[in-house]
Amino acid sequence: MPLIAVTYVKGRPGATTTALGLAAVALEAERPVVVECDPAGGDLMRRHRLAAVPSIVDLAAAARGAASSADAFATASQTVAVAEVPVPVVVAPAGGAQTRAALPELTGSGRAALAPPDRVVVADCGRLGPGSPVWPLLRVADVVLVLARANADEVAHLREHLGELVDAGAGRLVVLLGAGGAYSATDVADVLATHVGQELARDPEAVTVLGPLPQDRRAAAVLRGELLAGRRWRRLPLMEAYARLWADLAPHLPAVTSQHDVATEATP
C-alpha cells in the first residue's frame, strides 16, 4: 500500500498536523497509520497523552526480526482518537536520538518495512536538511508532500532543496502550501516551475503545487489534542481541505484511486 512522506524545509508549517489530519479524514477502509519519523523527535505522544511504549523503536525492532510488516505495525501502533475515528500512530520519543537510530533500520531494505500490504502509511519526516536520515525514506515514498508557507523566505528555502527533492526520484513531489502565506498557489507554482525547468533543467511538471491550507485554529487544536472534536468536526475548514487533498493525491496512490473517485463522485 502507498507510503506518503510529509516534510518541510523551513518554519513550522504544519507537517505533524497534516499527517494526523490526513489520516483522520481518510476513508475507513484505508485509514493510514501515522509514523513519526521526525529526526528531531516526535510530538504526538505528548500532545495526545500516549504511552512511551510502543514506539518507532519497536517498529524498527520488529523490522529487524522476522515479523511481517503488517505484524510490526500492529505491535508498534497506539491510537489517537479524533472524535469517533481511531487513528493508529507509531509515536517517537522527544529528542530524536531513537528516531535517528531507527530510521536506517526501517529503510535499510527499501520500502518493505514502511509499506505494509494492508495499510497506507503517512510518515511525518519533520524538517528536511542536508544529510537528514529521512532521505532514504523520501526516495521510496509514493508521494513526498513538502509543506511550505507561500512567503518569500520559505519559498526561497524550498527552491534551494528542490533539485535534491526532484532528483531523489521518489514518486510524486507535491508542494502543499501551509496556512498564512502571502502568495497564491499559481504564483508559487510559476516560480518553482521556472526554477525546475530553466535553472535545474529538469521537467517542470515534476512538481505539483496544492493548497493553501486554511488557517483553522479549532481544527489545529483538535489535532493537537487540546480540544475535543465536536459532532461536525469533519466540516471544519482544515479537515475539509485534508479530505480534498486525498482526492488530489489519489491518482498518485494507485491502490486507493478507485475508492476516492467513488467517494468524490458520491459527494453532492
Ligand X SMILES: Nc1ncnc2c1ncn2[C@@H]1O[C@H](COP(=O)(O)OP(=O)(O)OP(=O)(O)O)[C@@H](O)[C@H]1O
Range 224-263, binding ligand X (CB under 6 A): 224, 238
Choose from ligand X, Mg ion, none: what does 87 bind? Cβ within 5-8 Å by kind.
Answer: none
Q: Is 96 in the site for ligand X (CB under 6 A)?
A: no
Contact between 175 and 209 under an 8 Å Cβ cutoff? The reply is yes
Compare residues 1 and 50 and give the one whose CB is closer to ligand X. 50
Helix axis angle, 185-194 to 152-167, nearest 10°? 50
Count of H-run helices and E-run strands, the chain: 11, 8
**First-to-last C-alpha distance (Å) of the chain:** 29
Total residues at interface with ligand X (CB under 6 A): 18
Dist. CA 158–CA 183, nearest whole Å = 14
Cβ contacts of residue 146 below 8 Å, gap of 6+? 7, 8, 9, 128, 158, 165, 173, 174, 175, 176
Q: Is 88 in the site for ligand X (CB under 6 A)?
A: no
Contact residues for Mg ion, defined by CB under 5 A: 15-16
Q: Tell how far CA 126 is from the center of its chain.
A: 9
Compare residues 170 and 222 and give the one whose CB is closer to ligand X. 222
Compare residues 111 and 224 and give the one whose CB is closer to ligand X. 224
Beta strands in the chain (DSSP E): 3-8, 33-36, 78-82, 85-90, 121-127, 143-148, 172-177, 207-210
Q: Is 14 in the site for ligand X (CB under 6 A)?
A: yes
- Candidates 13-21, 26-34, 184-192, 196-204 — which segment interacts with ligand X by CB under 6 A? 13-21
Choose from Mg ion, ligand X, none: what does 63 bind? Cβ within 5-8 Å by kind.
Answer: none
Least separation in angstroms between residue 34's CB and ligand X is 12
Q: Is 39 in the site for ligand X (CB under 6 A)?
A: no
Q: Is 16 in the site for ligand X (CB under 6 A)?
A: yes
Range 40-59, binding ligand X (CB under 6 A): 43
Sign of the torsion angle spanned by Cα atoms 209, 103, 202, 198: positive
The residues of the shown chain that bind ligand X, judged by CB under 6 A, are 8, 12-17, 38, 43, 126, 179, 213, 215-217, 220, 224, 238
